[in-house]
A and B are shown apart, each in its own frame.
Chain A
Amino acid sequence: MDTHVPTAEDHCRISILVRTLGPRSPKTFNRLMERLSRIESIQVSDNPKRVILANFVTHANPELIKFGDLQAYRKVFGFIGVATGIGSASNSIHESLRSNSVFDGPSSRNNSTISIRSELSRKDSAPLDASLDTIHDQYKAVKSELETTAGLVDSRCVFLGYSDTSDCSIEPREVLSFGSLEESEELENGVRELLRSIYFILESRRIDTSFEKMDSPPCPMLPEEEKTRVGTENRASRNFKRKCIGRLRKQVADYALLTGLPSLALDSYTHAIEYLKSSSDLLWLAAAYEGFACAAMAIKYNETAERWRRQATMHRVSTMTPDQIRDYQEKAQHTLGVTIGHQRYRSDEDQRAVATAAAAAAQLIEQDIQQRKQYKKTWLLNVDRSPTGKSMTPEEILEKFVQALEHYERFSFASYVEYECMVRASSVYRHHRKYIETEMFLRERVGKYLDDSFTLFDNYTKAQICMVYAQIYREIGFRRKTSFFARLAVLFRLHVADSEARGEADYKLVWHHRIRKHSKEAKIAATKRFCDFFFPSFLSGFGCYDLGGVMVDEATTAGMKLGAKVYPILYRTLPGYGIVDNCRNAAQHGPVSVQVKAMHEVYMSALRANFMDAAIRHLCYMLQVYFPEFDDAAAQKTLDDLKRLVDSQDRLHSLAQHISLDQSGIILPPLQMTRFPTLSDFSIVRLPPQLTPRVITAASGAQKIFIYSPFQNEDESNDIHWVTNCLCEVSVRVLNPLPMKLEVRNLALLTEGCAFEATPLKLSLDKYTPDSEPAEIKLLGYPRAPGKLTVTGYSCEVLGVRNVCSIREVSPLTSTNHCTGSNLTNGEDPNAEKPGSQFTVEVLEELPLLVLETSLPRAPTTEDNVEKVAEATVFSGQTFDHSVFVVNTHPTITIKTVKLEVRQPTVFGPQLIELTNMELTKANNQSSDVTPMAVLHDLAPGERREVQFHIFGIDPASIADDKALGAEQKVLIKPALSPSTESDFEVTESTQSASADSEVGLGTNRNSVVSFNDDASVHNDASGTDRHDLIPYTGRLLTADFAFHYIADIVGPEGVQFERTARLPLAICIVPAVTVSRWQVLPGDSPATRYVVIDVTNSTDLDAELTYSADRRMIGVQPKEVCRVPVLCPCCPDVSSRSFREATQYDSHVRQKQEIDLLRRSLDAHIAKHLQIRWAIPQLNYGGIVPIGSILAEVEFLKQLVVPTVSVYAKVNGNANPSEDDITVRIGELVEVEFFITSVLKGTKSLHGQVSLRCFHDLGNGSILDRPENMVLCGPVSTPVVISSIESKSTEMPLENGNISPHEAENTGTTVNFAFLFLYEGTHKVRPVVGRPTVICPGEPILGEDEVFVPTLSFNVVTKVG
């Protein structure tokens, strides 16, 4: 639809029709039109300077030409026929054939265009090769048609590509013949010539004022007037004469305006108005008023310049030479400021030139006015009105317009003229930037024309009016109004097209709310209609039963063409609703519900126009932007539409491409559909450890300025490196926001920087539920060349379209979710804070890969650990040989060096793993920190080398926990049985803890002594009760590590070398053959001996023989059986239990440790002789020592083997009861207990104390419950005792810490008797308590609690019956 906004300037322009003759070549024709439009204005006279303006049109509306007498500018004064010859048109024949249909469509719809047109098209569609005769015929036909109807004055025929036009019967004067458009330099001159000749004729008409003196001047009539008025008037009357003269004056004024003399025209109009008013010739009076107003506007405003400025983006005005432009520029600058004052958009040179050229034209007009002033006739009404300073006020101009409108209103046939006049009137406000008034003026008047009851205009015209309105609003910046009217125009347009197809009901819907008469209310009706226009009645309005692709295929071509016309208009309304192409923040600019509807209409019109790609794009846009606003049904429907549309397409739609719709000049931008699926938290994943290269810079070995720098370690940069031809990953979190399953195909990374081969993924995502969490996936790919690689985005096929998204669209999402995002991002990407670098990774050149092959079985232990762990099982104390092959798998690159590092538990004595064919050497002797390495040199491509080693079944207990293996190790060695909790014999609890452990050198006589490092003991100190938990369980999993650091034989830039590490983790399960599972200390035969009962387990599948004790007793153990071995062990006389306590009294922690270490050594040495148990498996001829390290590790154990200071022995009812069994008594049965108290206390003073009994329940969980009321004592409750000290009789006895040999203490003792009975049944425990006397003599030694060895008696009290 053409949207020519009527302006006052129209009155000053001479219409020239340009028309193709013969075969069409739209391209040539358009270029020709463009060239013509540059010669719109020509100067026709120097003194006075006058400029005429031409208006080149391609079609003329005969309905309006009819008003040519009323308003001269409506006439077509000139005609240019353009005949494109075969020569130049041959290449565009196909194009023309194709575009024929396109061009025919609108014209056939528009039945109001000149009738010749269809005739012509019929003619020239038949013969392609139009002979000169045909062209001549056509030319003549158009010419004669125009001469009769439109007042044609002169014409030209332009031949392009015709070799010889001389035999053409067209007058040579009218022929402009060129070889092609490119060679037609003379065209402009020819056309100027045409304009001049028209000008001369119009000028002659202007100056012909002979009618003033005629007796009966001719009366110009409109055809419509003739119908109504003819014969009713008295032609001889004076009134009629005045009318005729008025009309003729009006015509003269029109010509004056056309020939560039607006001020003269103003005068003539004034005269005409005078006459016409008196003769009450209202139509012509209205026209005269309009002409007057237009002339006044032509003086006051420079509309030509404005129009040119608007067109400036399209072409330059090249009618003036640069000199001229420069000439006028300065003048224009200030004159514009005074007279026009509306030219503020001179931002660049181009526009400036245009404005200047326009200003030049305007200035010419002004000069004319000034000239006129000099020759001004005295009969002018407004003599004092100067064109520059005191021109008419806008109010005056408007008043004229309003008068014109009032008069026009009476003539229904002139309603289009009226409408144009109204628009012109509104432009007065526009020129003064009174946009609100403009809007009001237009709004108040438009309703009349758009009202449904106004049938003089068909809907096509109404649509055009709407388009004009839209155009005006666009110019004044009311973009929402623009959209409104554009859509209204579309509605009118469609209303015509589909009137048959529309159903009755739909029609009613539209008309239901019709409000008549009131112009304002008509607007409401329009609004209603507009609302109706919304989905879904909009859809039914299209006669669209279904939205799918099927429907589209069935759509008539007319429908498509209509859509093709409507679509661009609708599309361009989108910004008016705040819909922007950049979809990231599109939803923020307007009401969403309206936006969705507007988008939907655009989509529908695209569908109808058969712009499938555009339709898909719009649907995707809706989904991407408005999905959160959709309810499930709407989302489902949109998705269904999309699916059907996509299915109907035979190729994949790509959202990343611009869609260019040639005919409408719309270019749809690419869309990034980041919502489906929603990807977030991109992060580059480090290569797995065995593939991660370490970059060794050449300088790293060189001397540093600083001897030590805290930053030294950071030379090992934390940058992520990828390696060429090595599978690399980017982790991303993905979420499907749709309420249904989503299939994503070919999801692949997009990168730039260096070659990258992405591995496409296929995902099937579950439907969205409120508690859906984004799933983490890995996008894979192989870098194929070294360099800096930047991950720019991803592409995928989703919902049937190809979607390409930039990571930048997604990354804001990533940064906001960063805190909650995966710790992977935080942990692995130190550059996460720096945008940009976040997705850039350095790809190193291809590196060789070392593969390890081993004879041991390998299996992955954990999921993240890609390196398989080799497993081996060995018996404790045995040696097994194994080997590892290192293979360079790379076909071309040599591995320069391989450094082998063995990480294993540090032990005293033989190592767990020992290399047999290589030697571990410390690379750098200066530093003790450097771990010893074995080095292999120059491993050629494909070469295998063997590394032999043997595994020695060390006593697992003998490991000093090294920090490297840390926490894991501690968990592993947690013993299955904890003696301290399991013991069911009584141990006087030690409150002192510092004595727990100490460093003990590995005794050479046994291979099985544990040494704890300081860490462990400190830990034990702190945590009281479970301090012995670190005692290793006999037989356990040990881990060791072969680390092969290999450097490729490649030197990178600046001498950089690349190192990779291959690891062979070994899990060695050492199965001890015979182990201690449990042990107890029981009182021995005498106070100075103890029975150590050791449960020895045979873990093997074979019989084992044990040899123990001093007299070499033998015992056999079945496979997997437990054997209890009682070993009589004398108490160690060298150490007193008191000495442990004393050792902890030292202030220095180190001193304490040293003291305890001393004590321990002496105890160890003593006990080791007695507790040695040898094992032998005769079948395998293996033998060894049962590891008792676990026992010896316990200070608690050791302390029990010390002769206690005070020992108490019990006899129940006269029987010594060393057994563990409960003594069964009945309630009320008297129990007699005799306690024999001995002492090895050395000193001068005897110890006073008292013995009492304590009765309690052992609750079994370590706590006890005192039950003194359950027991009735017969006799004394407590008995005082005197524990006499032993005088040292023999000085040769080893005296240490005031202790004497236990043998001497045996016969010194006191006996205490108690008798009691139990009142209640249950298991009761009774223990003697050696208490302090009430009166303490000074100087008496104090007994520590752990210095007293007391037995606990256990009674099972049963009822009488039992």
Chain B
Amino acid sequence: MLLCISILAADQPPLYFRCIPCDASRENDLRLFVYSSLDVFDEKATSSRPDQELFLGSLFLNNKFKSYGYLTNTQIKFLAVIDATNPTLKEQDLRALFKKVHQGYSAAICNPFYELGTPIQSRALNALVDNRVD
């Protein structure tokens, strides 16, 4: 089950972070987990990727969370954290999920009132996180 989605700009500032409703400490854990996944993300992103694959696969895991990464061609980073104890979510599902996130992101930045580099407010993305929680 999906726990959170985070979007970061190329030069790191977080653009979007949304996690399932939970208490603050868990949210902090998630934030920290996303943050610590970035090391691997950066490494994977910088290592050569001959295939134009945007999906970076699994980044980081501990016994609670597992993170996946996705890098757009404009170097925007998408991270999704899922529950590591739940084996039902397959990589294929995550690919589909990231595709939706990508669409949501594209829609969000198409908003003429959105200024690039500022935090994103997107109902579509929020729904993506919220709907997955069930």
Q: What separation, in Å, do the CA atoms of A594 and B31 have in the docked complex?
A: 8
Q: Does B64 interact with chain A (Cβ within 8 Å)? A: yes
A588 and B12 in contact, given A436-B44, A481-B36, A594-B28 (Cβ under 8 angstroms)? yes
Which B31-54 residues have a C-beta within 8 angstroms of A? 31-32, 34-36, 38-40, 42-44, 47
Contact status A590-B35, CB under 8 Å: yes
Which B6-65 residues have a C-beta within 8 angstroms of A? 12-14, 17, 25, 28-29, 31-32, 34-36, 38-40, 42-44, 47, 62-64
Nearest Cβ in chain B — how far from A189, in angstroms? Answer: 46
A530 — nearest CB in chain B belongs to which residue?
Answer: B32
A108 surroundings in chain B (CB, below 8 A): none
The size of the chain A interface, using a CB distance under 8 A, is: 27
Q: What separation, in Å, do the CA atoms of A585 and B14 have in the docked complex?
A: 12
Stretch at the interface among A191-199, A517-525, A691-699, A802-810: A517-525
Contact status A593-B43, CB under 8 Å: no
Contact status A436-B40, CB under 8 Å: yes
Contact status A435-B43, CB under 8 Å: yes
A482 — nearest CB in chain B belongs to which residue?
Answer: B39
A594 surroundings in chain B (CB, below 8 A): 28, 31-32, 35
Nearest Cβ in chain A — how far from B45, in angstroms? Answer: 11
Contact status A591-B31, CB under 8 Å: yes
B38 surroundings in chain A (CB, below 8 A): 480
Q: What separation, in Å, do the CA atoms of A481 and B28 have in the docked complex?
A: 17
Mask: chain A, 407-442; 1 = CB below 8 Å from B; 0 = not: 000000000000000000000000001011001000
Contact status A588-B35, CB under 8 Å: no
Nearest Cβ in chain B — how far from A1326, in angstroms? Answer: 70
Most chain A C-beta atoms within 10 Å of own C-beta, residue among B39, B43, B62: B39
Nearest Cβ in chain A — how far from B64, in angstroms? Answer: 7
Nearest Cβ in chain A — how far from B48, in angstroms? Answer: 11
Q: Does A589 interact with chain B (Cβ within 8 Å)? A: yes
Nearest Cβ in chain B — how far from A1113, in angstroms? Answer: 83
Contact status A524-B63, CB under 8 Å: yes
B40 surroundings in chain A (CB, below 8 A): 436, 439, 478
A593 — nearest CB in chain B belongs to which residue?
Answer: B28
Q: What separation, in Å, do the CA atoms of A578 and B39 have in the docked complex?
A: 12
B15 — nearest CB in chain A belongs to which residue?
Answer: A588
Q: Does A531 interact with chain B (Cβ within 8 Å)? A: yes
A1349 surroundings in chain B (CB, below 8 A): none
Q: What separation, in Å, do the CA atoms of A1155 and B35 have in the docked complex?
A: 92
Contact status B43-A589, CB under 8 Å: no
Mask: chain B, 91-133; 1 = CB below 8 Å from A; 0 = not: 0000000000000000000000000000000000000000000
Q: What separation, in Å, do the CA atoms of A133 and B63 have in the docked complex?
A: 63
Q: What separation, in Å, do the CA atoms of A439 and B44 have in the docked complex?
A: 12
B39 — nearest CB in chain A belongs to which residue?
Answer: A478
Nearest Cβ in chain B — how far from A981, in angstroms? Answer: 54
The size of the chain B interface, using a CB distance under 8 A, is: 22
Contact partner of B62 (CB less than 8 A), chosen from A477, A527, A531, is A527
B14 surroundings in chain A (CB, below 8 A): 588, 590-591
Q: Does A75 interact with chain B (Cβ within 8 Å)? A: no
Contact status B12-A590, CB under 8 Å: yes
A531 and B12 in contact, given A436-B44, A481-B39, A524-B64 (Cβ under 8 angstroms)? no
Which A578-610 residues have a C-beta within 8 angstroms of B? 578, 585, 588-591, 593-594
Q: Does A1033 interact with chain B (Cβ within 8 Å)? A: no
Nearest Cβ in chain B — how far from A461, in angstroms? Answer: 24
A473 — nearest CB in chain B belongs to which residue?
Answer: B39
Q: What separation, in Å, do the CA atoms of A478 and B46 have in the docked complex?
A: 12
B28 surroundings in chain A (CB, below 8 A): 531, 593-594
A528 — nearest CB in chain B belongs to which residue?
Answer: B29
Nearest Cβ in chain A — how far from B5, in angstroms? Answer: 14
Contact status B12-A578, CB under 8 Å: yes
Contact status B62-A523, CB under 8 Å: yes
Nearest Cβ in chain B — how far from A512, in angstroms? Answer: 13
B44 — nearest CB in chain A belongs to which residue?
Answer: A436
A478 and B43 in contact, given A524-B64, A588-B13 (Cβ under 8 angstroms)? yes
Nearest Cβ in chain A — how far from B85, in angstroms? Answer: 13
Contact partner of A591 (CB less than 8 A), chosen from B25, B32, B62, is B32
Nearest Cβ in chain B — how far from A1223, in angstroms? Answer: 75
Nearest Cβ in chain A — how far from B38, in angstroms? Answer: 6
Q: What separation, in Å, do the CA atoms of A591 and B47 have in the docked complex?
A: 25
Mask: chain A, 505-538; 1 = CB below 8 Å from B; 0 = not: 0000000000000001101100100010000000
Contact status B29-A479, CB under 8 Å: no
B31 — nearest CB in chain A belongs to which residue?
Answer: A591
Q: Does A1175 interact with chain B (Cβ within 8 Å)? A: no
Contact partner of A439 (CB less than 8 A), chosen from B12, B32, B39, B63, is B39
Q: Does A460 interact with chain B (Cβ within 8 Å)? A: no
Q: Does A484 interact with chain B (Cβ within 8 Å)? A: yes
Which A539-598 residues have a C-beta within 8 angstroms of B? 577-578, 585, 588-591, 593-594
A588 surroundings in chain B (CB, below 8 A): 12-14
Contact status A480-B36, CB under 8 Å: yes
Contact partner of B13 (CB less than 8 A), chosen from A479, A527, A589, A593, is A589
Mask: chain A, 462-485; 1 = CB below 8 Å from B; 0 = not: 000000000001001111110010
Q: What separation, in Å, do the CA atoms of A589 and B25 have in the docked complex?
A: 21
Contact status A591-B35, CB under 8 Å: yes
B46 — nearest CB in chain A belongs to which residue?
Answer: A477
Which B54-85 residues have a C-beta within 8 angstroms of A? 62-64
A521 — nearest CB in chain B belongs to which residue?
Answer: B63
B62 surroundings in chain A (CB, below 8 A): 520, 523-524, 527
Q: What separation, in Å, do the CA atoms of A435 and B45 have in the docked complex?
A: 12
Q: What separation, in Å, do the CA atoms of A480 and B39 have in the docked complex?
A: 6
Contact partner of A479 (CB less than 8 A), chosen from B17, B25, B31, B39, is B39
Q: What separation, in Å, do the CA atoms of A436 and B64 have in the docked complex?
A: 20
Nearest Cβ in chain B — how far from A345, in angstroms? Answer: 16
Q: What separation, in Å, do the CA atoms of A590 and B8 have in the docked complex?
A: 9
Contact status B36-A531, CB under 8 Å: no
B32 surroundings in chain A (CB, below 8 A): 531, 591, 594
Q: What separation, in Å, do the CA atoms of A436 and B47 have in the docked complex?
A: 10
Contact status A589-B39, CB under 8 Å: no
Q: What separation, in Å, do the CA atoms of A436 and B46 have in the docked complex?
A: 12
B38 — nearest CB in chain A belongs to which residue?
Answer: A480
A433 surroundings in chain B (CB, below 8 A): 47
Nearest Cβ in chain B — how far from A1215, in angstroms? Answer: 83
Contact partner of A531 (CB less than 8 A), chosen from B13, B29, B39, B42, is B29
Q: What separation, in Å, do the CA atoms of A3 and B3 have in the docked complex?
A: 37
Q: What separation, in Å, do the CA atoms of A774 and B80 have in the docked complex?
A: 42
B29 surroundings in chain A (CB, below 8 A): 531
A521 surroundings in chain B (CB, below 8 A): 63
B118 — nearest CB in chain A belongs to which residue?
Answer: A588
Contact status B35-A477, CB under 8 Å: no
Nearest Cβ in chain B — how far from A482, in angstroms? Answer: 9
A435 — nearest CB in chain B belongs to which residue?
Answer: B43
Most chain A C-beta atoms within 10 Å of own C-beta, residue among B13, B29, B31, B35: B35
B33 — nearest CB in chain A belongs to which residue?
Answer: A527
Nearest Cβ in chain A — how far from B101, in angstroms? Answer: 19
B43 surroundings in chain A (CB, below 8 A): 435-436, 476-478
Contact partner of A593 (CB less than 8 A), chosen from B31, B34, B36, is B31
Most chain A C-beta atoms within 10 Å of own C-beta, residue among B17, B25, B40, B44: B40
Contact status A531-B35, CB under 8 Å: no
7 shortest A-B CB distances, which residue pairs?
A588-B13, A478-B39, A591-B31, A589-B12, A435-B43, A480-B39, A480-B36
Beyond A477-B42, A588-B14, A594-B35, 10 additional contacts (C-beta under 8 Å) are: A436-B44, A439-B39, A476-B43, A480-B39, A481-B39, A524-B63, A577-B35, A588-B12, A591-B14, A591-B17
Partner-A contacts on B (CB < 8 A): 12-14, 17, 25, 28-29, 31-32, 34-36, 38-40, 42-44, 47, 62-64
Partner-B contacts on A (CB < 8 A): 433, 435-436, 439, 473, 476-481, 484, 520-521, 523-524, 527, 531, 577-578, 585, 588-591, 593-594
14 contacts between A and B (CB under 8 A): A473-B39, A477-B39, A481-B39, A484-B36, A520-B63, A521-B63, A523-B62, A524-B64, A527-B62, A531-B25, A577-B35, A590-B12, A591-B32, A594-B35
